[in-house]
Every structure is written in structure tokens, then in C-alpha cells.
Structure 1
Amino acid sequence: MPLPSEPLLKLGFLTIGLFDAADPRRGHESTLGVIELGEQLGFDSAWVRHRHLQYGISSPVAVLAAASQRTSRIELGTAVIPLGWENPLRLAEDLATVDILSGGRLNPGVSVGPPMHYDRVKQALYPTTSEVEDFGYERVRRLLDFVRGERATGFSGVEGFEEYSDRVQPQARGLGRRMWYGGASLRSAQWAGEHGMNFLTSSVVKAEESEDFAGIQLSHVRAFRAHHPDGARARVSQGLVVIPTDTATAEQRAKYEDYVRKRTPRTATPQGPARLMFAPDLVGTSEEIAERLYAHPAFREINEVAFALPFTFEHEDYVQILTDIATRLGPALGWRPAS
């Protein structure tokens, strides 16, 4: 196995938090249990993903508020909040509140663009402003300003018995430095760098420059850092799907391999009008996965990951996968669990 030029410093994981519509609490409790297990295993971070009008976590900030009270060390992130569904001022209040409750452990990741299936949801979401809503980077800039303590209004002071602030309250110190942008395009990578954000790059990129996933992702990492005030020190996290099988049962290995086999055809060519490229899922022993990661050009330029858990597995599968990542794959990448 090739040795890393630099050890992996931060190991995280991402879960979608699926649930049964007839018993939604069980799925949410499973997600919280997985986050608690992640802390026990020494993971540096746990991330959750938005799913609106689906059977997955629709309110990750609320879920992370609950997770903040069941954990004490692990960082808690969103990967990502699609801002097309959000009011930046209200979201800034929620993020700051949860960051305070967590003791400064929140890592909010966001993205821009119209909500998925916008034509079908716009009347429910923006019944009177659907045609004039701006879903571009300005929405992120507004959120950043509010989180970083810029004025939200020209009014402050005392009115009667009420005291008002001209800035979002509470103010969470350090939260502005822990804001992440989830980008799949070169433009997004550059914009995130220019605005001093951290950068989340996942298993999806846009085939703008070529049809080589690893090469495209590498160009995004380099463009982000080239435009960031911190340069090479700017934080980037990679989020590929990895499924180690070291301690999996024969039945689990068969299920995992079938899952990957069904998803692999989409990785061959760009998909849809946006020409999205998907990275192959990595399944096998931790040693095999580590070798494939070391061969990945973008992985060799980062020292943080948030490996994505497969979406449709059972709780016991996530326990096995997370345990193998923490006890076998992570150490094979030079990572050491947090104490």
C-alpha cells in the first residue's frame, strides 16, 4: 500500500437519515444513534443532508440541535442546506442558536440554485414571489453577512419594554469561519474561495472541462484555494461513498456489492442536462479502498473527508460500516481517532 505524503487529519461521515412515513421517529432516532456512535468511535465530524418532501431529514438544523445535546465533542455539519428553500436571515438565527447550544461545533454547509422540482413546489414555497426569487450566490452572501455579524437592520435600541438589536441574535463567535459551500462547478469553487468559505466537494461534479471525474474535482480544489485568502491552507473536505467490508457478514457484502453494481453505470458518462458526473462508489476491504483513494488525484490534495454512507441500508449496516471506517480504513489513511 502506498504511504500518504500527509496523514488524513479529519475523518467524518454523512448520512441522509431515511425514515418510514408510518414511524418517522424511529428513523430520526436511528440517525441520532449513528451520530452518537460516531463520537464514540472517535470521528471528527458527522454531517446530515436535506431531503424536502421526501422520507429523509427535512430539518437537519433541528436534528443537529438534538444531536448537540447527546454529544460533547464531535463536530456537526449540514451537507448541504439548499438555500433556495430558506430565508437567509431566519436561517442565520437558527444556525447561531444551534452553534451556541453545541458549544461551537456547528459546520453549516450550503448551496444555491432553484429548489428541486421548482415548478411543482413554487406555489407552496413562494406563492406571491416565485417568479422574482433570486436563487444565485447573493443568497449565500446575505447569509454569510448575517452569520458574521453584519447589520440586518438600521434599527436598534429600546422601544417600550423591548430591546432590539440591529444584528442577528444570538451572535455565535467563530461560526462565520465554519461556513461551508457545497460546490459541483468551477465557478462555485472560485466563488467560495473568494468569499472565505470552506469547500465541500462530493461524489458529484459537473462535466464542464472534461469527463474525467477525478481531474474535474482536482481542478475545483485548486481553483478554490487559488481564490481563497488562506491559499493552500484553505479547508476542503471530500465526500466520496465508501463501503468497507472488513467485518461485514457474507449477506452484507452481497448487499453492498449489489448496491454498487446497480449504481455504477451512471458513472460512465455525464447525466442529464446539467452533465453531472458521479464518482464510483468504493466497496471492498479497507486496504483496497485506501489504495484506490491514494490513486485519486483530488484525495491526495486534501486532509479532510466526510465519507457518505449509502442511503438505503439498515441501522446495523451503518454500525458495521462506521466501525470499519474508524478502526480500519481511517488508520490505513494515517488518521488517528479523537480522544
Structure 2
Amino acid sequence: MPLPSRPLRKLGFLTIGLFDEADPDKGHESTLQLIELGEQLGFDSAWVRHRHLQYGISSPVAVLAAATQRTRRIELGTAVTPLGWENPLRLAEDLATVDVLSRGRLNPGISVGPPMFYDRVKDALHPDTSDAEDFGYRRVERLLELVRGKPAAVSGGREGFEVFSDRVQPHSPGLARRMWYGGGSLRSARWAGEHGMNLLTSSVVKAEGPQDGSADFAALQLSHIRAFRAAHRDGEAARVSQGLVVIPTDSASPRQRATYERYAAERLPRTAAPQGPARMMYAPDLVGTSDMIAERLQAHAAFREVDEVAFALPFTFGHEDYEQILTDIAKKLAPALGWQPGT
């Protein structure tokens, strides 16, 4: 099988970290075990999603802090943290702390926009400032400035026995180069490039341009990647990670294969045309043998432009299913795409 023009250099996976409300410990422990398994299999990165007021990880930074103490090599990321829920100064402190604990392995992914269902949560989230909060790009700029070491206070110095810093502490110098923006539109891709960030692009993009039903997911995603790199100071070397849902079945049991195929079939109709007022396009989930998935990825216009991935695990499967999927990705699919563990 011919390799793509950009052999896969960095292999990652993304999980939502589901748990049962009656037993949240089991779900969080499962997530940590999957991250440990990822390191054992040679994955370069593991990413966790943000889910507020749901039964998924609500505090990825806390979970990744735990993961730093159970791993030594694998990079750890968030995909993505919606900044509308965060105070940039406090988040900068948390990110720097976890980056220090991981010895420089944290990859924070962030996004902007009002929190989902904002009218329902605003009185609890921002009780005194809900109508004044700025959920635009300026919120990201504030976070980047603080991570990069811009003063957060008028001055530091000594007060009695205590010594104060004028910038976020701890300061982790390499963290700024590992900040990612989760973008699904041309505007956000360009913005991320102009501000020197890395780009996370997922299985959801905005269908911009003609509204004649001709929108093509791969072509749209490719346009975002190229717009990002055209705006970035690193040009073609600017980092982009793609996050499609892939489910290899090489070692799957008959029950697992049936579950995976049913899951993908139920989600397939939403990929036929842009969805909702925002005209969001969804990529089909890729289910099959590693050779079949590799062939489809090599025919994917946007995949051919990247050499990093964070393949997304499906939302609702069991722990043993995720183990099988990760093992087949690392041992079958990724090598077929040119990846080698530890490169």
C-alpha cells in the first residue's frame, strides 16, 4: 500500500471520559488506564474532552495532573477547553502547574464562544457579569499573554515575609509553543495562525461558501489547514492535528464489530449535508479493517496535508472496546500510515 505524501509522524487519541453518576470513580479510573495503555502502545499523545454538567470529564486539567504521575513519556492534551467557562489568569496557573508536573508534556487545546446553553448556566457561571463577559478572541489573547509571561500584576516584590511575582507562577517557558486552538471555520483557522498557535481540526467543520448542497467535508477542512499555514509564521511547518473518528476492527469480536457498525450507521445521516443554522459538516466515522481505513484516509484531501492525528474514540463504548480500538490503531492502522512508535 503506498504511503501518503506526509507519513504519519505523531499518533494521538482523544477520549470523552464517560462515567456513571452513581460511580464516577470507575469512569475516571478507566480514562487514566487508557492513557497508561496509550503510552505502553507507543502513542505520542492522549487528549481529553471537556464536558460541563454532563457525565464526561468536567475538569481535564485535574485528570491530566493525575495522568502526569502515572506516565513518563506520552504528551497530554485538552481538546478542547471552552474558555467561556474559564478565568484566563486562573487557567494559566493551572496549565503551568500541570506542565511542570508533566515535565513539559502538556498540550492545552482551547476554543472561544459563549458556553453551550448559556442562558441556562449564566447565573451560576458568571452571576455578576453574565451580560458583560467577552467570549471572543480577546479571551484567548489574555490567556496566551499570561502563559507567555506577560505581567499579571502591576508589580511584584516583597510584602513583609512574603515574596510576590508580577507574572503567573510557576512559569513554564515551553508551554506557549504547545498551545492549540480548536477551529472549525476559516476565520478561526486564520486567527490561530496569525497568533502563532497550533491548530486542532476535528470531525466537525463549518460549511462556508455556496449553499447549493455541494459542501464537501475534506475540501472544507483542507481549506482551513491551508489558510492556517498561510497565516502562520512557520508556514508549511506549522503544526496541525486532525481528529477524525476511526474504529479499526482487526481484532474485534463479532459483538464489537456489530456494535461499531451500528454506531457509525446511526450517525451517518448527519454527514450528508450541513446541519443546523450554523451549517456544520460532520465527517463519517471510519469503521473496518486497518487496511480499509488507511486507504480511505490516504484518499482524504485534508489528511494528506497533516502528519499528526488525535483519533477520536466513540462516545458510548466500554473499556474493553477502547482497549481493542487503541491496540489495533497502534499495531495495525498507524504503521500502515507510515507511523513508527517513538519517532
- 1:272-325 CA-to-partner distances (Å, cap 9, x unmatched) read 111110000000000000000000000001000000000100000000000000
How far apart are residue 6 of structure 1 and its match? Answer: 2.6
What amino acid does structure 1 have at the position aligned with 2:264? Answer: V
- Quote the sequence identity (%): 78
Aligned to 2:198: 198
Aligned to 1:156: 156
What amino acid does structure 2 have at the position aligned with 1:246? Answer: D
What amino acid does structure 1 have at the position aligned with 2:308? Answer: E
SS where residue 11 of structure 1 aligns?
Answer: strand
Establish whether residue 241 from structure 1 lines up as the match of residue 245 from structure 2.
yes
Aligned to 2:126: 126
CA distance in 2, matches of 1:159, 1:12: 46
Establish whether residue 91 from structure 1 lines up as the match of residue 84 from structure 2.
no
Establish whether residue 266 from structure 1 lines up as the match of residue 270 from structure 2.
yes
Contact 1:78 1:107 in 2 (8 A): yes
Establish whether residue 310 from structure 1 lines up as the match of residue 330 from structure 2.
no
How far apart are residue 232 of structure 1 and its match? Answer: 0.3
Aligned to 1:42: 42
CA distance in 2, matches of 1:209, 1:296: 20
Contact 1:209 1:216 in 2 (8 A): no
Aligned to 2:7: 7
SS where residue 158 of structure 2 aligns?
Answer: strand
How far apart are residue 29 of structure 1 and its match? Answer: 0.1
Contact 1:267 1:279 in 2 (8 A): yes
How far apart are residue 264 of structure 1 and its match? Answer: 0.3
How far apart are residue 2 of structure 1 and its match? Answer: 3.1
What amino acid does structure 2 have at the position aligned with 1:268? Answer: A
What amino acid does structure 1 have at the position aligned with 2:189? Answer: A
Mean Cα deviation higher: 206-215 or 320-329: 206-215
Aligned to 1:183: 183
CA distance in 2, matches of 1:270, 1:287: 29
Establish whether residue 338 from structure 1 lines up as the match of residue 336 from structure 2.
no
Contact 2:203 2:283 in 1 (8 A): yes
What amino acid does structure 1 have at the position aligned with 2:168? Answer: V
Aligned to 1:144: 144
What amino acid does structure 1 have at the position aligned with 2:186? Answer: L
SS where residue 115 of structure 1 aligns?
Answer: coil
Establish whether residue 227 from structure 1 lines up as the match of residue 214 from structure 2.
no
Contact 1:2 1:291 in 2 (8 A): no
Contact 2:123 2:130 in 1 (8 A): yes
Mean Cα deviation higher: 235-244 or 208-217: 208-217
SS where residue 199 of structure 1 aligns?
Answer: strand
CA distance in 1, matches of 2:156, 2:237: 38
Establish whether residue 169 from structure 1 lines up as the match of residue 173 from structure 2.
no
Mean Cα deviation higher: 317-326 or 153-162: 153-162
Aligned to 2:64: 64
- 1:165-184 CA-to-partner distances (Å, cap 9, x unmatched) read 11000001200000000000
Aligned to 2:111: 111
How far apart are residue 208 of structure 1 and its match? Answer: 1.0
SS where residue 81 of structure 1 aligns?
Answer: strand
What amino acid does structure 1 have at the position aligned with 2:114? Answer: P
- 1:142-178 CA-to-partner distances (Å, cap 9, x unmatched) read 0000001111111210011111111000001200000
SS where residue 261 of structure 2 aligns?
Answer: helix
CA distance in 1, matches of 2:3, 2:163: 59
- 1:204-257 CA-to-partner distances (Å, cap 9, x unmatched) read 000112511111100000000000000000000000000000000000000000
CA distance in 1, matches of 2:16, 2:260: 17
Structure 2 unaligned runs (5+)?
A: none
Contact 2:76 2:106 in 1 (8 A): yes
Segments ≥4 residues shifted beyond 3 Å: none
What amino acid does structure 2 have at the position aligned with 1:255? Answer: T
Contact 1:290 1:332 in 2 (8 A): yes
How far apart are residue 198 of structure 1 and its match? Answer: 0.2
- 1:114-134 CA-to-partner distances (Å, cap 9, x unmatched) read 000000000000111101100
Contact 2:12 2:46 in 1 (8 A): yes
CA distance in 2, matches of 1:252, 1:71: 29
Contact 2:6 2:305 in 1 (8 A): no
TM-score, reference length from structure 2: 0.98
TM-score, reference length from structure 1: 0.99
What amino acid does structure 2 have at the position aligned with 1:187? Answer: R
Contact 1:16 1:48 in 2 (8 A): yes
How far apart are residue 4 of structure 1 and its match? Answer: 1.8
CA distance in 2, matches of 1:60, 1:304: 21
